[in-house]
Amino acid sequence: MHEVGIMESALDAVLRQVRTSGAHRVHRIVIRVGALSGVEPEALRFAFEAIAPQTPAAEAVLEINAVPGRAHCATCAEDFETDTGFIYACPRCGQLSGDLRQGRELELSRIEMS
């Protein structure tokens, strides 16, 4: 379960920000997870619940925002949604595309603290 390592890194980044800003408590942590990132949101949540106690983030709400996969069709010049694979077929014209525009995100997007 690589989500534990991912969450340890994210929580380290959060706690660095807590120290830098002089805050004492984290209220909310928002993470964006792409559908094609290979990260399971529920495993990420489980990892957070396991490692956050005894830290300033112990009572924080973990908000995980799912980012759908979107590929681009050069023929139609349009983006389309996808959720699996590496080569994507345009639903409009059937042309194959490997041009993924979003869905691999894994980012710490917001921290609320006081």
Give 35-54 pLDDT, tens digit per residue: 999 999 999 999 999 999 99
CATH number, residue 105: 3.30.2320.80
Domain that holds residue 92: 3-113
Kindly list the distances between the CA atom of residue 82 and the CA atoms of 35, 69, 79, in Å, as whole numbers in the listed order: 9, 5, 10
Q: How many domains does the chain have?
A: 1
pLDDT given for residue 1 in this prediction: 64
Q: Phi/psi class of residue 64: alpha, beta or left (left: φ > 0; alpha: ψ in -120 to 50)?
A: beta
pLDDT in tens, 94-112: 999 999 999 999 999 999 9
pLDDT given for residue 89 in this prediction: 93
Q: Which pTM was predicted?
A: 0.87
